[in-house]
Amino acid sequence: MKLLRYKDPWLGPRKLPNFDKLTDEKSVISINDRFTVDTDNHVVTLQCADDSHVAIGSQLVYLIST
């Protein structure tokens, strides 16, 4: 299973997906990355292993491959 985020969290979910290339324009979320939820401001960010912070937006994508 892979958990992915849109590289552009605001435009990514608004585009029609290309079902032949589902991972295009998305980045894999590492097991070492950490979600931060700010309930006061309704914002979810991702703290990456390199200590950068990325806005998540409103949608994530997960893929299960066999």
Q: What is the pLDDT of residue 13?
A: 64
Question: Which residue type, as a one-letter code, is found at position 21?
Answer: K
- Cut 0.75: pTM above it: no
**Tens-digit pLDDT profile for residues 16-61:** 778 888 888 888 889 999 999 888 988 889 998 888 888 887 777 7
Contact between 8 and 25 under an 8 Å Cβ cutoff? The reply is yes
Q: What is the pLDDT of residue 34?
A: 94
